[in-house]
Amino acid sequence: MAEEKKSRLYSLKPLIERWPAVSKPEGHVHFRTKISWTILCLIIYFVLTNIMIYGVSGTILDMFAGFRAIMAGASGSIMHLGIGPIVTASIILQLFVGAKIIKLDLTKKEDKAIYQGTQKVLVIVMILVEAVPQVYGYLSPSESLMGMVGGNWANAVIISQLFMGAFLVFLMDELISKWGIGSGVSLFIAAGVSQAIFTGLFNWIPGQSSVPVSVFNPPAGAIPGTYYMATEMSLGDMVDHGFQWLFIGHQGFQNAIVPVLGTIAIFLVVVYAQSSRIELPLAHGRVRGARGRYPINLIYASNIPVILMAALLANINMFALLFYTHPTMSKLPLIGHQWWIGAYDTAAGSTAPIAGGAWYLSNLNGINGWFMPILGGGVPGGHAAWQYALKVIIYLTVMIIGATLFAKFWIETTDMGPKAVAKQIQSSGMQIPGFRRDPRVLGRVLERYIPVVTVIGGAMVGALAGFADAIGTVGNASGTGVLLTVGIMINLYEQIAREQAMEMHPVLRGFFGAE
């Protein structure tokens, strides 16, 4: 009877056992070794983002342009897909397990192993799903490559490079999670966003490098650009339109003062939210006087729900783009080339939606993207002011609800639920004073806090991400990207401190689940 109740995913067990993977360390990995592997993977990541795909024509359309800060990678490089396949595979499995379509009890070690193994297999499938459509009008082979190997083989060459880059990301993510510190996916996001913020602040090259520097084409960086426009414009220009350009920006200058202030505000709010927590008092069951506290952070599921939500919206944009512009998929009945799904104008070199459902779910892109059109009563592209107001409402609602759901799914698929935390505290010899030393009793106490904090934290981080996108940020990093980066760096700091504490006091490894 027990065998009949097992999930059908158990049929993949022979494949999972033979699937290529980074081996787990047999014993404790020293702190220096973890730091070394983490830094090495980050260096490799930056190197790969600067290796461009061989044989691509000059015209490149980036399907993930609006989500590039979250998807990591670099447009046109072998890291073009970034972390997309990894996160998409995680989304699919979480939704299926959460909806009970896939019946797995992730509190059981065997079921959890099947879940993780299936996710690895699904990552490879998603690499192909996201790589194959790229060669049809988005990363087209050059004439020289087609002349060398033929049309079909030219497409295969580009797909193989995309596959290799995405598979290397997958392996580095697994390497960091087992031999390094933190999560590879999170670190790659933080690295890409940090680079975007740095260039957005200090880039002295004008936005259009082929055009001479002027107030219409100032240095792209916020600091040199603001200084240049403030010194070059006359008093009359400043009164007429100069202050608006300096604070909000214009088409040739996006890194204005408001995005800089928005970036700083996001940083301060996230730091405050991350430091808010509930602390449960703990006492050692056998060592009298040994006391401690177990912190339950307000943003309990970290920023992972926002990563998953942003990746989901990026995939919605990708498929809407394919349905509207792909030579084959645009001919599908009912959904092919339908404006209500999403309309695009790729002739202008943009993959951002201009109408339809995908437009309502697209990034708000700062004050210039929604607030100024509402004040103007109309907008380029034919949208009315009320449509922009509706877009803001829909986007914020989807971000908040989606992040809340993913937060609940995430703690169930990791060792962050009440039962798992109760076992960790129990194994360390600690207990809550006044309660019997029993993991079931401890689990019931934690159930009063963890599920509630998870929902509140998920909704809060979704709201922060949505409002951050509405304010805008420097370097086109997106508000979500900045929010994620700040949270990732705070979590990385805490993990480094935890690793150092375990290095100095080995008895803490059992409490943190490192052994």
Give the residue with greater pLDDT, 133 vs 124: 124
Would you say residue 200 lies in a domain?
yes
Q: If residue 427 lies in a helix (H) or strand (E), which one and from where to where?
A: helix 418-427
Would you say residue 102 lies in a domain?
yes
Supply the CATH number for residue 396's domain.
1.10.3370.10
> Given pLDDT bands bounded at 50, 70 and 90, which one contains residue 1?
very low
Calculate the CA 443 to chain-centre distance: 31
Q: φ and ψ at 63, to 5 degrees?
A: -60, -30
Return the HEC string of 296-361: EECCCCCCHHHHHHHHHHHHHHHHHHHHHHCCCHHHCCCCCCCCCCCEECHHHCCCCEEECHHHHC
Distance separating alpha carbons of residues 344 and 339, to the nearest angstrom: 8
pLDDT, tens digit, for every residue of 69-103? 778 878 888 999 888 888 888 888 877 877 677 78
Would you say residue 242 lies in a domain?
no
pLDDT, tens digit, for every residue of 456-485? 989 988 998 888 888 888 887 777 788 888
> Given pLDDT bands bounded at 50, 70 and 90, which one contains residue 2?
very low
Distance separating alpha carbons of residues 223 and 237, to the nearest angstrom: 20
| Residue 444: exposure state from Cβ atoms within 10 A (0-12, 13-18, ≥19) | middle
Q: Please determine, for residue 395, whether its predicted confidence score (pLDDT) is greater than 90.
A: yes
Distance separating alpha carbons of residues 378 and 391, to the nearest angstrom: 14
Would you say residue 100 lies in a domain?
yes
Would you say residue 220 lies in a domain?
no
Q: Quick one: DSSP state of residue 205? A: S
Structure tokens at 501: 């504490």
Q: φ and ψ at 473, to 5 degrees?
A: -140, 165
* 275: helix, strand or coil: helix
Say if CB 201 and CB 477 are below 8 A apart: no
**Amino acid identity, position 44:** I
Tell me what pLDDT residue 5 has: 66
CA separation, residue 449 to residues 280, 420, 443 (Å): 10, 14, 10
Look at the chain and count its residues.
Answer: 515
Say if CB 65 and CB 351 are below 8 A apart: yes
pLDDT, tens digit, for every residue of 257-315? 888 888 888 888 888 887 888 887 777 666 565 666 777 888 888 778 888 888 888 88
Quote the pTM value: 0.78
pLDDT, tens digit, for every residue of 153-196? 888 999 999 999 999 999 999 999 888 888 888 888 888 888 88
Tell me what pLDDT residue 4 has: 47
Calculate the CA 128 to chain-centre distance: 20
**Amino acid identity, position 316:** I
Tell me what pLDDT residue 152 has: 79
Distance separating alpha carbons of residues 501 and 421, to the nearest angstrom: 19
User: How many distinct structural domains can be found in the chain?
Assistant: 1
pLDDT, tens digit, for every residue of 39-58? 999 999 989 988 999 988 87
Pairing mode of beta strands 277-284, 291-297:
antiparallel
pLDDT, tens digit, for every residue of 320-334? 998 998 888 888 888
Domain residues for the domain of 311 are 31-204+252-511
Pairing mode of beta strands 343-344, 353-355:
antiparallel
Structure tokens at 328: 């084959």
Distance separating alpha carbons of residues 463 and 352, to the nearest angstrom: 23
pLDDT, tens digit, for every residue of 53-78? 998 887 777 877 777 777 887 888 89
Tell me what pLDDT residue 270 has: 83
* Long-range contacts from 450-456, C-beta under 8 angstroms, 24+ separation: 450/296, 450/300, 450/411, 450/416, 450/417, 450/418, 450/421, 451/408, 451/418, 453/278, 453/296, 453/297, 453/298, 453/300, 454/300, 454/301, 454/407, 454/408, 454/411, 455/404, 455/407, 455/408, 456/298
pLDDT, tens digit, for every residue of 8-19? 788 888 888 888
Task: Give the CA diameter of the chain.
Answer: 84
* Long-range contacts from 18-27, C-beta under 8 angstroms, 24+ separation: 19/117, 19/120, 19/121, 21/120, 21/174, 22/171, 22/174, 22/175, 22/178, 22/179, 23/178, 24/178, 25/178, 25/179
Would you say residue 226 lies in a domain?
no
Tell me what pLDDT residue 289 has: 56
Q: What is the mean pLDDT of the chain?
A: 83
Tell me what pLDDT residue 507 has: 55
Tell me what pLDDT residue 493 has: 85
Would you say residue 223 lies in a domain?
no
Distance separating alpha carbons of residues 440 and 444, to the nearest angstrom: 6
Q: Tell me the average pLDDT across 224-237.
A: 87
Structure tokens at 266: 């996001």
Distance separating alpha carbons of residues 390 and 211, to the nearest angstrom: 38
> Given pLDDT bands bounded at 50, 70 and 90, which one contains residue 3?
very low
Distance separating alpha carbons of residues 383 and 510, to the nearest angstrom: 58
Tell me what pLDDT residue 411 has: 84
Q: φ and ψ at 76, to 5 degrees?
A: 85, -5
Would you say residue 240 lies in a domain?
no
Say if CB 297 and CB 274 are below 8 A apart: yes
pLDDT, tens digit, for every residue of 350-375? 788 988 999 999 988 888 888 888 88
Q: Please determine, for residue 397, whether its predicted confidence score (pLDDT) is greater than 90.
A: yes
Distance separating alpha carbons of residues 205 and 224, to the nearest angstrom: 9
Tell me what pLDDT residue 506 has: 61
Q: Quick one: DSSP state of residue 474? A: G
